[in-house]
Structure 1
Amino acid sequence: MGFVWMLVCAAVLACVCTQEVHGYDAYFGKPLSENRSNFLATIDNGTFLCTVPVRACRKDEGRRVDGTCTNPKYPSRGATLTPLPRLLPARYGSGNTLRPAKDGSPLPSTRHLRTTLMGDGHFRDKEVSSLATDVFVFSFVDNVDLFYLLRYAVLSDCCINNQVPNLADPRCIPIEVQQDDPFLRRTGIRCMNLTRVETYQDYGCLPNTLPAERYNRVTPLLDLSTVYGNTEARSREIRANSGGLLAFRMEGDREVPAGQSPFCLRNQPQNLEIACYDYGDNYDGNLLMGTYLTAMWFFREHNRLARALAAINPCWDDQQLYDTARKINIAQWQYIFYYELIPEMIGYKNALDSGVIYNTKGHVNDFDPKCEPGVYHEYVIGCRWFHTFQSGVADLYRNGTYIGSRTVIDDTFRSGILALNNTEADLTFRDIFQPSDKFDYVLDPDLGNRIHGEGQAASDIGAIDMMRGRDAGLPPYNEYRKLCGMKPAKTFEDFHDTIDKDKVVFLSRLYEDVDDVDLMTAIYVERMIPGGYVGPTLYCIITHNLLLWRRSDKFFFEHGGFPAALSEHQLMEIKNTRIARILCDNGVGVTRVQPFAFLKLSPWNNFVSCDAIPGINLMAWQDHMCMEEDKHKKKK
């Protein structure tokens, strides 16, 4: 992690050296007091690691790359290094250890829970496309980092010889494997490697007497930080400084980010896999197949917008072109996520009824200065449920014909594959042709038993998801039932209103008490709500988080009434776009696509020419001052 933090420190130094800033406490979100400053001075790199530099907020400015001033009342919230808010207070054991059962004993093995309550298999969904999977995964790295993967998937060993849990290291939370495990009983593997996420306590920012809180290195917003970076210094590094463009190079006829990231740890140079793309967030951007493919599309979309704006407004300089292209790109991303993807996940009527989306063409001014920007712990953990609709196999298509498959988990940290053998185009058409896995109680076998590929002897994403809930200190499921308007259970039979009886029987055998049941375990087995693909508790968590993003973000694309807001005309143009248009404009070789691309091809959602896919008319951003200047030049 040392290299990563050299980059962070350099970014903070660059900001401090070039502009007057005010130091805010990263965790508490308040200006640094003299006592707090003196305390941080006693910690190695305490000022870098535990503070957020904030330039004074201005009424006339737009969205900052570093996330500060997203809500001027809480100027440091929305930046990197700020904590994830909680719907309910943390629940840990003594000294921030994992929460024990009600009787003080350890909670059941999450591997045992997962294999008892969920199956393994390949079942394709009848409606949703793989594109929905990839874009949903991309949405996560846009607002929470996955740096902790380096901590345990690559660098640590919390299971000695895959048999003995390493209990001496407080960073370790190994997952016990039962002797009669249905898949591993003959392997000799008796535990799975896992470490805790990094917290403010790890860096000395907080004492262990306070609840452990996750340390987040990206802006906790829907702001395309994967493309643009999380600091002003980083954003300057990836710009072309001409025409508003992001720096690029050509790989054949493919436009890709310039520079080289060091994070493609599984590239195979012997097979000529040497490309590793220098996105704004060059770690998360190169991490997973879904992230490096989606990041590429939105990277190209920025440059497409900048070039088109330059043609419309020849008097604009580099900065104005860059800022406007970025603003449009982020607005498109937020619109696609809220109005196209989320309604497919939770149901259009549910999204409308909850206030997540609105049936209006104009501005929706629901910004609330009292809301602090962030992403809820419960959202970050709970939405891991979507691993159920991720396939471990990527089918490759060329000219509409299946030509083979790739194993998804083996392509983690391996974006160099995009440059070879037409793979980017083949994977793009995979998102068009291949259905997602079915939304059910079943995991793809690779995800359930070898999520880290050859890097670990055995690894189970479902068991990890449940353990991450404990690592985050999430209270039991029963407390979230109360939060979400359901009756708290006194007996296991009281769960029948949300969980099928056969699953409740297993829960009663695995847990000693209803107040022991983990939130994530319950999310994995709840029945789906009418019209959606999620259970009632996850629906509640998702809507809480999406409402927070809307209301806490002054610059959310639908908000109006401030200088940097979209005009009514511009907002209407944003609402003309869709993910199919992004594919048409930026996907390699895409000339035809289904109009509703998050859904699979069907007789009612069949291929149409890209010419028939609606998009933004950028004339809504025409600057009439440029036209007057051009007329004046012609007269001369």
Structure 2
Amino acid sequence: MKWVLPLIAAGLYLGYLYLGLQSHVDEKPNLTRDVIEKAVMKAKAIVDSAYEYSRKECIKRVKKNAAKPSDILLLMKQPVGRTRTAVRAADYMNNAVNFIRASLGKHHKCSINATDIISEEDLQVISDLSGCTGERRLPSCKTIPNLDRFRTITGVCNNRKNTLYGSANIPLTRWLLPEYQDKISLPRGWDPERRVKGELLPLVREVSNQIIRTANDDIENDPHFNFLLTIFAQWIDHDLTLTPHSPVIRSYGNSIDCETSCDRTEPCFPIPIPSNDPRFGRNSDECIPFFRSAPACGSDNTGHVFDGITVRQQMNALTAFIDASQVYGSVDVKARSLRDLTSDKGLLKVNDKYNDNGREFLPFSPMDANMCATRVAITNISNAKEVPCFFAGDERVDENIALTSLHTLFLREHNRLAHALARLNPHWDGERLYQEARKIMGAYFQVIIFRDFLPPIVGPEIFATKLATYPGYDENVDASISNVFATAAFRFAHLMIQPFIFRLNEQYNEDPNFPTILLHRAFFTPWRAIFEDGVDPVLRGLLVRQAKLNTQDQMMHDELRDRLFEFTSETALDLASLNIQRGRDHGIPGYRKWRKFCGLSQPSNFKQLKKVLNNGHLARRLLDFYGTPTNIDVWLGGMAEPFVPGGRVGPLFACIITTQFQMIRDGDRLWWENPGVFTEDQRNSLKETSLARLICDNTGITKVPLDPFKHSDPSTFTDCNRIPAFDLSPWEEDYRRRR
């Protein structure tokens, strides 16, 4: 019994210490308004200085034709307009809170959340002064006109009950709790020496080199689907997701340049280059620059003010709805800037300097920082002049010339519809023509995605089970995009991209004047469309040439791994490394947890992983790097799975993709099949929507495949004059009376 009393005494002493420490933590000083205001002013000054420095540096390098690949990625993912305001407010608040915490003394250093030491009342004042409160304020739907007929550009008030569901500039949703290194905001792997489940996380570039790497010449072509399927996947993604980066290129605390330093300091999360890297050589001390995604207002350690979520959340700058926002934009200011308001015809702006054999080109971007013009000097094309980037609803319009071609196609279709509707209803003003054409365009994509695109991706069996039947609108469904969908699952098509952009002549043969080019020579090259025979040759290449087939031993080729946005000798980016690093940045849980989420088996050892992957060699290599299946990054784990029957993704990504599209459809009050959105006759017309017909109507191509994504020989293509035109007659206002 003699050891009992000392134990009791020790327990009482530890309890005393705990209560003492807890009392210190629970003490929340009454901050004066003056202290809070000074902290917010200091935060604003530092954030604004970093923003301005970053903006000037990027513009300066671009204007000097000295843009780095990281500049391109930064500019492409920059928050703009309303999104930039939201991101700036979040940065103001986070920095102000950090300044106050730092000033409150060492006895608070062990606290985790801001509310451990700052009262919720004071946090609310900080939120008000920083602008975060306004960013999270629910909009009023009462003053929005035609809310039952047309979508808002931002997606607000689609859901009358939960007015922000699916709207732009809200946090990505979480289907599983995030796994951050510090439980709040630091990425998985922020400290490379910190073990996860007893194992060190592998360097993402090492994983890319050893598991994902494929030479351009070693790829396998898809025997069933064409390259259009791949680019259309990118087109859809740009309608649904854009996670903005932090706008700064140097850290807030110590002004470290994210592009030149390997230090990990917010928002810099650089990708180390392993020794003996095949591109960078032995013992490289370089890093691939990587910028963290911007935090959403009211997340991180300030979330108690809003919804009680105290972990870092990332934003989606786009609406979650299939609404053609890559054509029209997701913020009102941009949507208006894309319209041709010089006439009352409901048209979108077109290029006023060049045309494509009499057809319209996209307008040029009004932005000062123009990375597109830099490409001409590098490619040594003597007859090509420097031209600006194109301007469209999505900032990524110029990312590659194939994507640019789709943007051009659908710009033309909007204007074609507006002209046709004006002939049917001469009394309609420009606003009505614009909104009706935009509404039809959104319905086009809803039909094409569900009827033609999703079955080849998730497989006809899974599609038939989960997506084939429309159950009707459900206001309790949140259509918002999930973090795992945006960051992992819907990046499946990165492994279906060919290392070439194919360009074919009218006979569907290689064009001797403008031949097929390597992919890295097609990044940000609008001048190729203008000076190299327009978009038709590229579209023919998409229709005829096969997609790359993702196989377990031929994942991503070197055009994307070693030459992404390669303009000069500066370090090009690696898309595989970026994808894995982004998942860690967002705190996305590992592979096994997502398998459990989807009701699939959760492999815990080599034998079980071998069974899931049906590949012992790949299972062993993954475990050599990760140690446990639990730590496998979900993007890599999902891409490593064998395809579901008839599909182009494995069971995990098929589950995540179908779940997300169910929510997008069922949570959309203005879905094309929802009664009252369109008339019955209009719905019957929309059912016959044809991507083949859209190509016929807006290009010089005269023969097309009826199945737009199936690989087939041009000899089997159908003449455009045999494909029925889209029937617009149900949109004539006296249509019913005439019938």
TM range (shorter): 0.7 to 0.9
> Per the alignment, do residues 321 and 113 of structure 1 end up closer, same or farther by CA in structure 2, a change over 3 Å counting?
same
Corresponding residue for 2:234?
A: 137
Select 2:223's aligned residue among 126, 146, 149: 126
Q: Which residue of 2 aligns with 1:496?
A: 610
Alpha-carbon distance between aligned partners in 2 of 1:610 and 1:150, rounded to the nearest angstrom:
47
2:675 is aligned with 1:579: no
Contact between 1:367 and 1:552, CA under 8 Å: does it hold in 2? Answer: yes
Q: CA deviation at 1:426?
A: 2.0
Correspondence for 1:367: 473
Q: 1:479 touches 1:488 (CA, 8 Å); kept in 2?
A: yes
Change beyond 3 A, Cα 1:410–1:70: farther
Task: Please give the alpha-carbon distance, in whole angstroms, between the structure 1 residues aligned to 2:214 and 2:408.
Answer: 32
Q: Deviations over 1:590-628 (max 9, x none)?
A: 11111112122238x822111222442111212118988
Q: Is 2:157–2:164's contact at 8 Å kept on the other side of the alignment?
A: yes
Which is helix-richer, 1 or 2?
Answer: 2
Amino acid of the structure 2 residue aligned with 1:370: N
Aligned-pair CA distance for 1:191: 3.1
Partner in structure 2 of residue 590 of structure 1: 701
Deviation of 1:474 after TM superposition, in Å, equals 0.9
Structure 1 position 110 matched with structure 2 position 212: no
| CA 1:479–1:200: 2 relative to 1, 3 Å | same
AA of the residue aligned to 2:654: Y
Q: Alpha-carbon deviations, 1:479-517, whole Å to 9, x = none?
A: 111111122233232223321211111122112223222
Where in structure 1 are there 5+ consecutive unaligned residues? 13-32, 359-363, 629-636
Matched residue, 1:482: 596
- The range that moved more, 326-335 or 519-528, is 519-528
Separation (CA, whole Å) in 1 of partners of 2:84 and 2:632: 44
Equivalences for residues 41-440 of structure 1 within 5 A: 41-43=128-130, 45-46=131-132, 51=137, 53-56=139-142, 60-94=148-182, 95-100=184-189, 101-103=195-197, 106-121=200-215, 122-145=219-242, 147-148=244-245, 158=258, 160=260, 165-167=262-264, 169-186=265-282, 188=284, 190-200=286-296, 206=302, 210-241=310-341, 242-250=344-352, 251-252=354-355, 253-258=358-363, 260-262=365-367, 264-268=370-374, 271-281=384-394, 283-354=395-466, 356-358=467-469, 364-380=470-486, 381-399=488-506, 400-403=508-511, 404-440=515-551
The alpha-carbon distance between structure 1 residues 104 and 378, as it changes in their structure 2 partners (threshold 3 A), is same
In structure 2, relative to structure 1, the CA distance for the partners of 1:157 and 1:365 (3 Å cut) is same
- Determine if the alignment matches structure 1 residue 512 to structure 2 residue 512: no
What pairs with 1:456-471 in structure 2 (closer than 5 Å)?
Answer: 456-471=570-585
- Write the mapping of 1:517-536 to structure 2, written as runs, cut at 5 A: 517-536=632-651
CA deviation after TM superposition for structure 1 residue 277, in Å: 2.7
Find the residue that maps to 1:402 and give its secondary structure: coil
> Deviation string for 1:301-321 (max 9, x for gaps)?
111111111112222222222
What's the CA shift for 1:568?
1.8
Please name the residue that 2:116 is paired with: none
Tell me the equivalent position of 1:7: 81
Could you tell me how far apart the structure 2 residues matched to 1:48 and 1:226 are? Answer: 26
Task: Return the alpha-carbon distance in structure 2 between the equivalents of residues 518 and 297 of structure 1.
Answer: 37
Q: In the aligned structure 1, how far is the partner of 2:557 from the partner of 2:259?
A: 24
Cα distance in 1 between the residues matched to 2:432 and 2:361: 22
Q: Are residues 568 and 6 of structure 1, via their aligned partners in 2, closer, same or farther at CA, if it must alter by over 3 Å?
A: closer
State the one-letter code of the partner of 1:453: E
Relative to the length of structure 2, the TM-score reads 0.74
Instruction: Find the partner of 1:543 among 642, 650, 658.
Output: 658
Residues 1:429 and 1:36: Cα distance change in structure 2 (over 3 Å)? farther
> 2:365·2:388 contact (CA, 8 Å) conserved in 1?
yes
Aligned-pair distance for 1:5? 6.1
Deviation of 1:249 (Å): 4.0
Matched residues in 2 for 1:457 and 1:9: separation? Answer: 29
Change (3 A) 1:349 1:513: closer
Change (3 A) 1:182 1:260: closer
Q: Does 1:612 align with 2:686?
A: no
Contact 2:346 2:431 in 1 (8 A): yes
Cα displacement string for residues 298-357 of structure 1 (whole angstroms, at most 9, x for unaligned residues): 111111111111112222222222221111111001111121111121222321112x23
Q: Secondary structure at the match of 1:478?
A: helix
Matches of 1:174 and 1:319 in 2, distance apart?
Answer: 47
Aligned 8 A contact 2:320 2:664 in 1:
no
Query: RMSD in angstroms over aligned alpha carbons?
Result: 3.2
Q: How many residues align?
A: 590
8 Å CA contact 2:316, 2:481 repeated in 1: no
Gaps of 5+ in 2: 1-50, 56-77, 87-119, 190-194, 378-383
Counterpart of 1:483, as a letter, is: F
- Residues 453, 189 of structure 1: CA spacing in aligned structure 2 closer, same or farther, 3 A cutoff? farther
Q: What is the rounded CA distance, in whole Å, between the counterparts of 2:471 and 2:617 in structure 1?
A: 46
Partners of 2:132 and 2:297 within 8 A in 1: no
Change (3 A) 1:207 1:345: same
CA–CA distance in structure 1, aligned partners of residues 319 and 411 of structure 2: 18
**Farther-moved stretch of structure 1 (105-114 vs 257-266):** 257-266
Structure 2 SS opposite 1:117: helix
Classify the secondary structure of the residue corresponding to 2:535.
helix
Distance 1:42 1:204 in 2: 18
Call closer, same or farther: CA 1:10–1:107 in 2, change over 3 Å: closer
Q: Percent identity?
A: 23
- Residues 1:202 and 1:68: Cα distance change in structure 2 (over 3 Å): closer
Which amino acid in the other structure matches residue 7 of structure 1?
Answer: G
TM superposition shift of 1:205: 9.7
Bigger CA drift: 243-252 or 137-146? 243-252
What is the CA-CA distance between 1:275 and the residue it aligns to?
Answer: 4.2
CA–CA distance in structure 1, aligned partners of residues 439 and 432 of structure 2: 10
Secondary structure, in 3 states, of the residue corresponding to 1:165? coil
Structure with greater Cα Rg: 2
Structure 1 pair 104/508, CA: closer, same or farther in 2 (3 Å)? closer
**Higher mean C-alpha deviation, range 345-354 or range 539-548:** 345-354
Residue 565 of structure 2 aligns to which amino acid in structure 1? H
**CA offsets per residue over residues 198-228 of structure 1, 9 Å max, x none?**
1126999945982111122222222111211
TM-score normalised over the length of structure 1: 0.85
Task: Report if the CA contact (8 A) 2:246-2:292 is conserved.
Answer: no
